[in-house]
Chains A and B, each alone.
Chain A
Amino acid sequence: MDAFIPGIMLTIIGMGVVFGSLIVLMVVILLLERFVGSGRQEADPGAEEQEAAPQSDDLDLVLAAAAGYFLETESPEVYVPEVRRNANSLWARSARVGRLGQRRRR
């Protein structure tokens, strides 16, 4: 019981320090965003619009290039191993043997 009260106090102080630090950090980040972010906007207004909206002719080219890139470079994920096939196929030989057998019977 002697240690209980100091333990509670220590917990409250510890949590207070942690949350206090977090609040201070949050305020600092908000202030930085406000100053640095607005500075950027003022320095280059409309830059995003220019990048996002090319001329209509260019748009077709961009779309075609994107489609071409997709069609040509999309690497398939299907693994196809190299295989060896028997060069001496039974297909033609068995047909010849069959025909010879038929002639003999005639």
Chain B
Amino acid sequence: MPPDSERPDPIDELKTLTSKAQALGGVASEERQHKQGKLTARERIDLLLDAESFSELNLFVETRATDFGMDARRTPGDGVITGSGYVNGQLVFVASQDFGALGGSLGEMHAEKIVKMQELAMKAGAPIVTILDSGGARIHEGVLALHGYAQIFHNNTQASGVIPQISIIVGPCAGGAVYSPAITDFVFMVDGLSKMFITGPEVIKAVTGEDVSVEELGGGAVHSSTSGNAHFLAKDEHECFEMVKKLLSFLPSNNLDDPPLSDTTGWPPDENPELDGVVPADATRAYDVRDLVANVFDDGDFLEVHADFAKNIVVGFARLGGKPVGVVGNQPTHLAGVLDIDSSDKLARFVRFCDAFNLPLVNFVDVPGYLPGTQQEYGGVIRHGAKVLFAYSEASVPKIALIVRKSYGGAYIAMSGFGLGYDRVLAYPFAEIAVMGPEGAANIIFRREIDEAKDPEKMRGEKIEEYRSLFATPYTAAKYGLVDVIIEPRHTRSALIRALETIAHKREDRPRKKHGNIPL
């Protein structure tokens, strides 16, 4: 042991070591990140969290690997920053990978840090935000790196439905690394910056002969519109972190807490004449369901999830009387608002998230049914469509459906059927509720009369009208108690607020079981 005079002052030593460790990959790596138009791991944390609120964990952790020259390549923090902090006053746990330090690759200790952060978040009942910018598993550490991923996936799964989990991809995320974001609740990507794929373009070229660029294969635009792996696409990192903050403002910290409340500005008014002109009574005319949403919910503020994927259904978060709700609406401007494979997946996952985190569901129903065709049938639309039925049946949060125009067949059952466990079903006066549209129904029911008529076209027209007058109104369903109340469009907001108030504290028991078996 050196004499006291030779030992550095412990406080100075701490300051020196802390400053060295906080530099991660150093100035050179910082410059490399900036040259690529990317922020550093620490800058990203600063953007996300409230000022001076970050408490770092395990700053001095280093890799224990020595093979393949790793003993000479040690970096403080082992390529990831973990800790906790506050986002607009809400406690969150964070991990931010640093591409500048060993390519952000995941080795044994890198994984240990993330696992520890996940476990702390689960103890504290606080959301996890993981910022991914990594080259994948650290090959030098072999099976220990794979073991690390396995632990992370396991914790992601344990935390699912207990605390909200958000993944932000701001660089490469390839191979096994993609499965952690895929298990989490929401994935954010940045246009032109984020890349996510299981195998890269070179491997694809070697195996299948396909030529594809990195951006075409796993860019943000592809994952937010085609594959649906990304829920949000931001134009740059700054916008991305603001979107994360906005999402968190709708969410409770865990599955026992209530979602946060906010003050209302008084717009839109309870009686809003603007709504009278949004939905055309003519079922063949399209309109944007988001216009309806904007005129009903607080301040017209709506955070759309999966905005570019399966556009025939719109899902997202809004507030009604200051309380966050999950909003679902069929989108008549895209495929006439039918349900299909992708929209069923999108909807079912959103419903399950809302149910897990105590967010009531409000449906705006205008659905002609499930999309017909061999492509859909061969693709398993039965299995995917069943997910929607399963998710809504399983959900025990308040469920309100407003039939704004048509609600036909299996899609009626899924989106507005009392039998599925909806608490309140409302309808506009021009709503149509039937097994199928009047044209199709008249052709089947009155086939003989139409075939035998002197003027089949005239007879068909008469029978269509007959069917329409009988079933294409909400009053038949109301007569059977399958619609609670028929409202004028201008009273939508007040009617929904009242409906929500009556069931805000509902209690609904389910049989005890390990878990259901949703048709995946």
Contacts and interface: CB of A to CB of B under 8 A. Distances in A.
Partners in one complex: yes
Interface of A: 67, 71, 74, 76-86, 89-92, 94
Interface in B287-312: 299, 301
Given A79-B301, A84-B262, A89 B239 contact: no
Interface of B: 34, 39, 88-90, 124-125, 236, 238-239, 242-243, 245-246, 249, 252-254, 256-258, 260-263, 299, 301
Given A76-B242, A82-B262, 14 more contacts: A67-B34, A74-B236, A74-B238, A78-B242, A78-B245, A80-B246, A80-B249, A81-B301, A82-B88, A83-B88, A86-B258, A89-B256, A91-B254, A92-B125
Interface of A is mostly: loop
A24 B314 CA distance: 58
Given A76-B239, A78-B239, A78-B246, A83 B257 contact: no
Nearest to A83: B260
A77 B256 contact: no
A60 B34 CA distance: 14
Given A74-B238, A78-B243, A80-B245, A85 B125 contact: no
Contacts of B258: 86
13 contacts: A67-B34, A71-B39, A77-B239, A78-B242, A80-B88, A80-B245, A81-B262, A81-B301, A83-B262, A86-B257, A90-B256, A90-B257, A91-B257
A84 B89 CA distance: 9
B123 to A, nearest CB: 9
A68 B89 CA distance: 28
A86 B299 CA distance: 22
Given A82-B262, A83-B260, A84-B262, A89 B253 contact: yes
A18 B210 CA distance: 63
A98 to B, nearest CB: 11
B375 to A, nearest CB: 37
Nearest to B163: A91
Nearest to A67: B34
Contact of A91 (B236, B239, B253, B299): B253
Given A79-B301, A90-B257, A85 B246 contact: no
Nearest to B303: A78
Contacts of B34: 67
A94 B256 CA distance: 8
Given A89-B253, A91-B254, A83 B261 contact: yes
Nearest to A75: B238
A79 B300 CA distance: 11
Contacts of A89: 125, 253-254, 256-257
Nearest to B264: A81
Nearest to A76: B242
A37 B24 CA distance: 57
A79 B319 CA distance: 13
Nearest to A77: B239
Contacts of A85: 89-90, 252-253, 257, 260
B246 A79 contact: yes
A81 B249 contact: yes
B514 to A, nearest CB: 18
Contacts of A83: 88, 249, 260-262
Contacts of A86: 257-258
A91 B122 CA distance: 10
B246 to A, nearest CB: 5
